[in-house]
A and B are shown apart, each in its own frame.
Chain A
Amino acid sequence: MRFRFAAFRIILASAAAVVWLSAVQPAAAQSNNDPDILAAYVYRYADYYLPYAIQSSTAYKPVGTLNTMRDAGLGEEVDFAVQSTIPASQDDLRGHARRIFKPWRYQFGSDAYLDCLDWADEACKAAYAKRGWNFGSGPTYQVWARTRAAARGACSEVSIAFRGTVGFSGGDWYSNFSRFGSPYDDYYQQLQRNVDTIMRQIQNLDCYKRAARKPQIVSTGHSLGAGLAQFVALATKSGGPRIAKVVAFDPSPVTGAHLVNKTLLAENVQRLVIDRVYESGEVLSYARAAVQEYPQAKSRCNPQVRTVEVKAARGSIIGLHGVELLATNLADITYNEGNPLGYRAPATLVGNCDVIYRPDSDEQLIARNGSQRFAALRRVYARSAGRRVVSSPASSALRSGVTRVGSPTSSNGPDPRMATGPASNAFALVTGGGFGFTPLPRAE
């Protein structure tokens, strides 16, 4: 009888613990220390993520096609990228996406097996000598640069976009399952010995050299490409330029962290931000929950992992795993009957965790100078464009000088999901053109 009573007490205590934990969980999820963006709020940031989604989608297209367009120098790659991403049936969304993507220019890329991009690199040569067997295929990546408003020919941000899995490519699938290492010279290993050369190639870009302030380097990709994008951020060598931010769409649970030595890993994750953007319920969301490699989704600082859930489509878990669908949805949810709803970058300081990445200086210019400049810019652009200006939902926060990211769109009080930080990146988009970006020779 005594035994039964003891068992009853244990069961009661366990039940109480379960109730307490389930009660605590939602409260923690709504604290200011939480960088995650829930599906209900993602429309505010969708325009921010759209260019990276377009790049991740275009990464599935042949590098040779983009090289030809780059060499022509007419900016055709912008149209090509948008048309590759948004279906022809969504013509209005294509126009919207083109305006968002206008400042970006394709620079260079590769879709070949990466032996050593620079044979003068002794470390690469040594790693190549110890390589495993391979299928002769390598990681496909395309490098894009965002042109700066103030200085022509200079760029403010450079993005490396990695391609996901294509067909039954042995190289792709072996890399997908390279969770604990493999005897195969997979894409993670090829990138590990070449990532610093790629970073040097970026530093040698004309637009990079011309920039007065060093452009930020970010990486992006879809699925396998998102895994590779995370890996390059973790694997850049000490002392060189670093990846400031990763935007990973429907990312693979494999990040290749097991290949990087712990000292370098600890150095590279300092002030790094990883945004994992995915359609709710897509096939890899379950895999990430079960077998996610470092860094875990709960990592709040060094690196700061932000989960961005998009819930804009229904379908099978397989059908939801597509970057074309995700990019089209991102374009769609910020675009209402011909008007963009606003542009906002996620918070740069959450829970006192400082990060390297700062939104584009053009955005900061507008965000910092408050209502006067903001209103002036609105008037100027409205006059010059002769079109309607759509107010940012966060304009009230800007006017009051409050650096609150995720300010309320209505008078319902502040949004408890969003954090307060020093950089408010919210501003309005002017229909018909980005803020002062160098216009495309033939974008329209």
Chain B
Amino acid sequence: MLFVVLPFVPELAILLTSLFAAISGCQPGTDTGCPIGSSAAEIIRHALEASLLVGSRFGDGLAALWLAACCWLITLGWPRLWIRLLLAFAVSLICAFVPYFGPMLSIGHLVNPKCSPNEGGVGDCIVYGGDVGSVAHKVVSLGWRIIEGAPIAIGIFVVYAIVAGIIELRSRRQALRPLG
């Protein structure tokens, strides 16, 4: 579970920062800074940069390694085939979607008249009194990388389903042999 969540820590950091900012009475669209840590805007900017890096690397192929590691852990942890396949499918869906759309979703509630992230990179993005910078625009373009990421995730899941099926068949045959 922890391994699945690990790549998405930056998004969680953004959500938590916004939560603390809201509790402190800060508004995303105001010009005054929000003193959480150094500043809420700084934390969000760094977290967005980290999530952009994760998403880009996942699109480059890291998704295959991460998903293969997840499938291996699922095989070790759950003996039943249908549970393995169900979990692998859920993790594949997460892997196909969240690295590319997660950063964008995590700042969705911060959109205000001074910050309208777009793939054209047009305009500033002021959140909690600080400029989040061009990274807010870049996470919108990151969504396009699902074109590379989704086939990787689907491919790994299909391969895992075949491998898990073969393992299950072999183990059943071995279990039947002493009886025969």
Contacts and interface: CB of A to CB of B under 8 A. Distances in A.
B122 A167 contact: no
A164 B121 CA distance: 10
B105 A56 contact: no
Contacts of B118: 60, 163-167
Contact of B120 (A173, A223, A286, A316): A223
Interface string A156-192: 0000000111111000010010000000000000000
B168 interface: no
Contact of B138 (A164, A165, A224, A319): A319
A323 B122 CA distance: 7
B122 A318 contact: no
Given A60-B122, A84-B123, A166 B52 contact: no
Residue of A163, A291, A318 ringed by the most chain B CB atoms within 10 A: A318
A57 interface: yes
Nearest to A290: B147
A283 interface: yes
A165 B140 contact: yes
Interface string B93-116: 000000001001100100100001
A322 B141 contact: yes
A245 interface: no
Contacts of B120: 56-57, 59-60, 163-164, 222-223, 322-324
A216 interface: no
Residue of A166, A287, A291, A325 ringed by the most chain B CB atoms within 10 A: A166
A222 B147 contact: no
A173 B108 CA distance: 14
Nearest to A177: B146
A323 B121 contact: yes
Contacts of A323: 120-122
B119 A287 contact: no
A237 interface: no
Given A61-B123, A85-B122, A283-B145, A167 B138 contact: no
A166 B116 contact: yes
Contacts of A176: 143-144
Contacts of A168: 101, 104-105, 108, 140, 143
A228 B147 CA distance: 19
Given A287-B147, A318-B52, A318-B138, A165 B121 contact: no
A290 B150 CA distance: 14
Interface residues of B, number: 26
Contacts of A61: 122-123
Given A167-B104, A167-B111, A318-B56, A173 B121 contact: no
A98 interface: no
Contacts of A165: 118-119, 140, 143
B138 A287 contact: no
Size range of the chain A interface in the assembly = 20 to 34
Nearest to B116: A166
A166 B138 contact: no
Contacts of B147: 286-287, 290-291
Contacts of A84: 122-123
A242 interface: no
Interface in A39-81: 56-61
Interface string B132-168: 0010011011111101100000000000000000000
Contacts of A223: 119-120
A325 B121 contact: yes
B28 interface: no
B118 to A, nearest CB: 4
B142 A318 contact: yes
B143 A173 contact: yes
A321 to B, nearest CB: 5
A321 B117 contact: no
A325 to B, nearest CB: 6
B151 to A, nearest CB: 10
B121 A318 contact: no
Given A167-B108, A316-B56, A287 B121 contact: no
A58 B122 CA distance: 8
A166 B140 contact: yes
A284 interface: yes
A60 B117 CA distance: 10
Given A56-B120, A168-B143, A317-B56, 11 more contacts: A58-B122, A165-B119, A167-B108, A222-B120, A283-B141, A284-B144, A286-B148, A318-B52, A318-B141, A322-B122, A324-B120
7 contacts: A61-B123, A168-B101, A173-B143, A223-B119, A318-B52, A318-B142, A322-B121
